[in-house]
Structure 1
Amino acid sequence: MSIVVRDVREHELDSVLALNNAAGPAILPLDAARLRHFYDTAEYFRVAERDGALAGFLIGVGSHAEHDSSNFRWFRERYPDFFYIDRIVVASRRRGGGVGRAFYADAQSYAELRYPQMACEVFLEGSTDPALLFHGSFGFHEVGQHVMAETGVRAAMLMKPLCSYAWVRETYGDALPDAPWITRPRTAYTAAALARRATGTCA
């Protein structure tokens, strides 16, 4: 069965919260109020379905968002314009099945029309090689490290340039075409369609 990525629905927030808090030490825990804040304010909050069941979620915000993450602030102190992936969670039974790549392809499809680069972090605790390899294979590179004051955890700070952004800005400015995959709310796309949209790293 295909993976479908779509906007989260309000009635799914309890399931998203449970998924987040079962993800382990690589993901910071959330409470219901914090998750509701993301639902109300995050410009990108999408879930993945596989075989009709929730398989994961991704939350992202732009660099001008009012976001209190110390990792987000680290990026904002150094870069003027970016799309920040606050968290991506894939259900344990779905890991290794393409859900993470479907999310990153979808997030890039959204971000590259609006921001010159994407930012995220990987916690450097325990065995981080799979996560670093995943991000490296998707075009991210380390631009520094940061110790989170609230947790004491060190994170590798990663950025990815978005090659299409300059062309989009030169061609359309702020007047993007009125198409379902561009405007919000966005329609659902299968993983295969997202893979066709995703671009590689900049030359």
Structure 2
Amino acid sequence: MAARPNAGTKGVPRADREREILRIASTAFGTDGFAATGVADVAHAAGISKTLVYSYFGSKEGLHAACLAEAGGLLATEIERVARDGSAGVERGVRTLAAMFAVLDDRRHVWRLLRDRTAPQDGPAAEVVAQYAARIEALAREGVLELLGGAGITDDLDVSAMVRTWLGIVDSFMDWWVAHPDQDAAEMTQRVTRLIAALVSDHTRRVAAPTPREQDAAP
């Protein structure tokens, strides 16, 4: 009997084989980095030939770009889900981080994959990362506009500064979490909730803007 057109090696459907390759490649790229990961390593771990990997993804760069697209889509989908759940302001921010922790709790290599400094800075991978970043930034801007609008702040530069600040906070929390594998998603959510609550608490001392004289005296 002839093999099915959509079948991979040993009768495995192509779609299933691709998912398995992406799972293995994402772990390798996210653990060892793009520069230290070869197609041969991925093929060996998957129990297939390099030729098959190339036939599916074209090149190492193509395989890497496919892994990034899957990783970026995973996070963006979770962030979009929170954006539509009715939460707003600080609550939306905390829920967003909680969702990211939950979805990556058993696959933190996905975050390292997206932050890999050894990855190509141009080509397919860079294009995928740019698309993912734009999608995430648009959601962040939506949340910031809602938050600042409630406080009567509409200045474009204020909004831009706050979007960049929030994205930096998210990156910092995620980087810290990945560097502390003993902290699970539930513990990290509690920590973030506690820390952000302290920042926005009515009991937190209000900091007045410095006067021009104080600004001139600053180091």
Same fold (TM over 0.5): no
Larger Rg over CA atoms:
2
Q: Which of the pair is proportionally richer in helix?
A: 2
| Bin for the TM-score computed over the shorter chain | under 0.3
TM (norm. structure 1) is 0.25
Q: Which of the pair is proportionally richer in strand?
A: 1
TM (norm. structure 2) is 0.24
